[in-house]
Amino acid sequence: MDIKDCLKQRFLIEIKPSADLVEKEFTEAAYDLNRSKKVFKEEDWKWAIIQAYYSMFHSARAVLFNLGFREKRHFAIVVVLEDLNKKGKLEFKYVNDFEAVLSSRENADYHYVYSKEEAKHSLEIAKDFLARMKKLLDKL
């Protein structure tokens, strides 16, 4: 599936790019990252994973808003990240990282499968991902 398919099936919709929405999403991403760190220290592995994912979700969403898209399904974010990779604007590592933490979040949230190691890994990925999305925005 590509961006055209997502638009046709309404998994993505076109919007007017919005600096206000971009800023709001980065604020939410930072909030979720900080909450993930806090609950990790409290040894709440499940919520550390979930909030690490939502930090990544919001930082990727900021990029989508900057590009003039709003997602209707989380997987549509992956489609946009893959497109940025194909255009040479984003390393494939970040596509993989997003998918990995999405999977970890689903396992924690829906299957009650989580661990300290998974939480630590998700948190490390989320920190790097947020920084990379901000850097990416500077080049779009």
Q: pLDDT tens string for the chain (140 positions)?
A: 999 999 999 999 999 999 999 999 999 999 999 999 999 999 999 999 999 999 999 999 999 999 999 999 999 999 999 999 999 999 999 999 999 999 999 999 999 999 999 999 999 999 999 999 999 998 87
pLDDT at 139: 80
Q: Which fold has domain 3-139?
A: Four Helix Bundle (Hemerythrin (Met), subunit A) (1.20.120)
Q: Is there a contact between 56 and 126 (Cβ–Cβ < 8 Å)?
A: yes
pTM summary value? 0.95
Q: Give CA angle at 131 (126, 135), nearest 5°.
A: 145
Q: Is there a contact between 50 and 105 (Cβ–Cβ < 8 Å)?
A: yes
Classify 12 as helix, strand or coil: strand
Domain ranges of the chain: 3-139
Structure token pair of residue 64? 């989508």
Could you give the CA distance from residue 139 to residue 24 in angstroms, rounded to a whole number? 19
pLDDT at 140: 77
Could you give the CA distance from residue 128 to residue 18 in angstroms, rounded to a whole number? 24
Of residues 96, 70, 73, 74, the one with CA closest to residue 85 = 96
